[in-house]
Structure 1
Amino acid sequence: MGQWRCKICPRSYCQDDGSGYSNLIAHLRPRYPDFEERIRLASVSETGSLLNWVSQRVHTRLGWISWVVEEGLPLTFCEKPATRRNKKLAPISHVTMRDNILRVTEAVEDKVAQEIPDNFGIIFDGWSNDSEHYLAVFATYEVDRLVKTPLLSMAPIVNEPDDNLKAESHRSALESVLVVFGKELVHCLFLV
């Protein structure tokens, strides 16, 4: 159950999660007939937060994703009884969490793909942990005179038994990353 407080008057309301917002809207309509227009015109600087424009469900799911990703936890963490007892987020399944993470990933990839110009640079950063060799791939380019350097991939280079750490493996890894963003190696002007 969510607790909602009107930002115009001192009145508070309780609202069951998932039950809609009809009683909250019913409070606004007779008292503030122009509330919809006021909401549309309010900027983030006036409200102090983007949360006014995000549903409780989306806010909850972002909370779960942040918790699991930032702490490096397994997706099933959200379903453990001890986790559910000791949290303030609404319950979520690991299937929903996985779906949400994949959707966020796709949305970010789409946004980056739209932003990367026809010509760009690539920055490699590699490191090893025991016998695992990882490669981070960054694109670098300018947008409105600002340098952008989004992370495109961070993955092991050697995935198959016949893979190695030679230039061909790096090239193959880079080509497979660029395909995700609708680019080809010919678009790359330089490699650092």
Structure 2
Amino acid sequence: MLAATTAETESILNYIWRSSLNLFSWMEWISKNNLPLSYSNLDPICVETLVSGMGSLARSVERVIAAEMPDRFGLIFDGWTHASEHYIAVYARCEVDGVAKTPPLCIAPLLNDEEEDLLARGHMAFLATMLPRDYGMQLGICWLLVADNCSVNRRLTTLTGVLLVGCASHRLNRQSNSNWQTTKKSWTQ
């Protein structure tokens, strides 16, 4: 077996370009190992190639998530500050083929413009821009927001007209069951 060629072992490595395998290996090294790049024995790679590959991978994942998203979904939303930089994380909450899924939609820093604020209107503008741009969905089809029960998130749900489930998993479960029961009733009629 050790003397066999890759064709004789039916390995798929024959069908993968070496440059693609190297790019994948670098992305895996960076995302999984969290070690200095100098520790790697991988073939060298250009920074622009690596950044381009990661961007292409992100767009591919966005397309897959968008393709399986249902007509109505919830958002799980959190924001935080680290070293005077403001970040936001947005996850979708939906049911796909009877299975509950929570795909990440966005984990990104908020831009710190002079006009940018950390108020509900700024968060709403961020969501209203990010959802159609990356996933082809409108904020209006979101039916609930799971977030901290702070004034910004309460105001955000008032502006968007969605339900707020604030830091209580039993309330999320109750609202989800209520929504699915309503949906089931409309299907049976």
Distance 2:17 2:71 in 1: 36
Q: How does 1:108-119 map to 2 (within 5 A)?
A: 108-119=61-72
SS of residue matched to 2:94:
strand
Bigger Rg, which one: 1
Q: Structure 1 residues 10 and 136, CA, compared in 2 at 3 Å: closer, same or farther?
A: closer
Extract unaligned runs of 5+ from structure 2: 147-189
1:66 and 2:28 equivalent? yes
1:189 and 2:143 equivalent? yes
Distance 2:85 2:19 in 1: 38
Residue number among 125, 137, 156 corresponding to 1:172 in the alignment? 125
Distance 1:129 1:151 in 2: 20
Distance 1:51 1:11 in 2: 16
State the shift of 1:94 in Å: 0.9
Q: Structure 1 residues 89 and 130, CA, compared in 2 at 3 Å: closer, same or farther?
A: closer
Aligned to 2:43: 90
Please list the CA deviations of residues 131-159 of structure 1 after superposition, one character each: whole Å capped at 9, or x if unmatched.
22211011110112211111111122343
State the shift of 1:56 in Å: 4.2
When the two structures are superposed, what TM-score results if normalisation uses the length of structure 2? Answer: 0.65
Q: Which runs of 4+ in 1 moved over 4 A?
A: 50-56
Aligned length: 144
Contact 1:157 1:170 in 2 (8 A): no
Extract unaligned runs of 5+ from structure 1: 1-8, 14-23, 29-34, 40-46, 78-82
CA-atom RMSD, angstroms?
Answer: 2.7
